[in-house]
Chains A and B, each alone.
Chain A
Amino acid sequence: MGEALGLLGFGPDGWGDELAAGAWLTIRLALATLPFGLAVGFLAALARNSPRRWLRTPGNAFTTIFRGLPELLTLLLVYFGGQTLFTRIAGLFGGAQIEVSAFVAGLVALGLVFSAYASEVFLGALRGISRGQHEAGYALGLRPFTVLRLVVLPQLIRLALPGLANLWLVLLKDTSLVSVIALNDLVRETSVAVHATKEPFLFYLVACLIYLAMSIVSSVGIMRIERWSERGVRRS
């Protein structure tokens, strides 16, 4: 037991600081992906909800593809394909090299997957807000964008929150896949420690527990946000 604690300690002999650094990257990646995923997901939901076919069909196709492909596959496609794509584009503009880092590839891939699922959540929420709300807004003389901002959005957040909260928890776990493209997240750092110490069970168990801790902390935070978003709703 003492030996195990020694291996996990901070400082030159212990792997604690490496694991912490990995966990920090995991959190950073998830947090960075979130706004991207939410924004694209919301736009996709609007497109899918639109009466115009030329918006609806691509929106639906986008969602079907990124909900149907394994996250690992999407990640590799973005990582390998993205590099080639950017080099070709850069070539057209006279050869400046744009580097697509593994972090960005991870962010884009996970963000696309997140947005596909999020669009589903937003769609359900949009449809859950009764038409009466929109109409009341217009009746009061509010412009469409103001209606969206002051009437629809707050209600949307409340309706979408449980679904989005779930997606956040999934995102946290999906970041583990970037270890495959050699990004130094928690799983990657754990693997390095394992190769050096030959204690896979101990280290992977600790990694799992760290993810668990992150999930639990997130859940607490989400509960707080849910309570805030439900303020003012009359309880029947």
Chain B
Amino acid sequence: MNIELLERYGPRMLEGLLVTIELVVISVVLGALLALPIALARMSRSPILRGASLAYVTFFRGTPLLAQLFLFYYGSGQFRHFFESIGLWWFFRDAFLCCLFTFTLNTAAYQAEILRGAMTSVPRGQREAAMALGIRGPAVLFRVILPQALIVALRPLGNEVILMIKGSAVASIVTVFDIMGVADLAFARSFDLSVYLWAAVLYLVLVETLSRVWNVLERKLTAHLAVAGTRA
């Protein structure tokens, strides 16, 4: 364990950890907000909405995150003048924001599919009962369907957050100094493989922490279901 190396790059590594956390948290949250409308569009009666959302979801789930990142990062650079004319160049110019943009769109697609699967798993009877009780439109969704759907969706959503933590590592390839970015820098100067091992430790800690938190969350939210196996 090279102490000098640790002193030199340790603090930067922790800064990188912060960048990774920011990237993941913001993109997952924004992605979640996007996911609901997309999931609803996927199940809508309008063929246009269904088609558009299907195309969106298929594109972002069927292509590698790295390719998407290059597309938006270098691609937006190509259209700089266009973005300047609509006053948005400051956004796409920044590597961190570009990554955030791509990651959000990507995770929204996966979360939308998870949500859609969970919502269709809620028995039809629930919707019918709600309407029989006189509950209207949005309330049916938010008070009856979604809460039940979210319980089913919890496990896969937790999985998706973990996948995002791991996926965020590609940000280092487009100049962002996240955990991987700092590790690459440290390795380039020292040729010491142990910098990648520290990065590994940091990622494992992140993933394990999230897993534990998610397990607690799952237990709390399904406590009411813990009756000996039966569910009416």
Contact = CB atoms under 8 A, between A and B. Distances in A.
Tell me, yes or no, whether A and B come into direct contact in the complex with CB atoms closer than 8 A.
yes
A81 interface: yes
B169 interface: yes
Contacts of B162: 67-68
B158 interface: no
A55 interface: no
B62 interface: yes
B213 interface: no
A208 B102 CA distance: 14
Contacts of A169: 62
Given A68-B207, A77-B196, A174-B64, A204 B70 contact: yes
B67 interface: yes
Interface stretch (B28-36, B37-45, B71-79, B145-153): B71-79
Interface string B160-204: 001001111110110000001001000100000100110110011
A173 B63 contact: yes
A190 B69 CA distance: 13
A232 B172 CA distance: 50
A173 B200 CA distance: 22
Contacts of A77: 193, 196-197, 200
B63 A180 contact: no
Interface in A193-231: 194, 198-201, 204-205, 207-208, 211-212, 215-216
B91 interface: no
Given A69-B204, A200-B77, A204-B75, A80 B66 contact: no
A70 B167 contact: yes
Contacts, number: 107
Contacts of B68: 208
| Size class of the B contact interface (CB-based, 8 Å) | 35 or more
Identify whether the interface residues of B are mostly helix, strand, loop, or mixed: helix
A42 B27 CA distance: 34
Nearest to A175: B64
A199 B78 CA distance: 7
B59 to A, nearest CB: 7
Nearest to B69: A204
Interface string B48-85: 00000000001100111111101100110111000000
B63 A200 contact: no
Contact of B71 (A64, A65, A200, A212): A200
Interface string A64-94: 1101111111001100110010000000000
Given A187-B70, A212-B62, A215-B62, A76 B196 contact: yes
B78 A72 contact: no
Interface of A: 64-65, 67-73, 76-77, 80-81, 84, 169, 173-177, 179-180, 187, 190-191, 194, 198-201, 204-205, 207-208, 211-212, 215-216
9 contacts: A69-B166, A73-B183, A169-B62, A200-B71, A204-B75, A208-B59, A212-B62, A215-B62, A215-B63
Interface of B: 58-59, 62-68, 70-71, 74-75, 77-79, 162, 165-170, 172-173, 180, 183, 187, 193, 196-197, 199-200, 203-204, 207-208
Given A76-B196, A173-B64, A201-B75, 14 more contacts: A65-B204, A68-B166, A69-B166, A70-B167, A70-B180, A73-B169, A77-B193, A80-B196, A176-B64, A194-B74, A198-B78, A204-B75, A211-B67, A215-B62
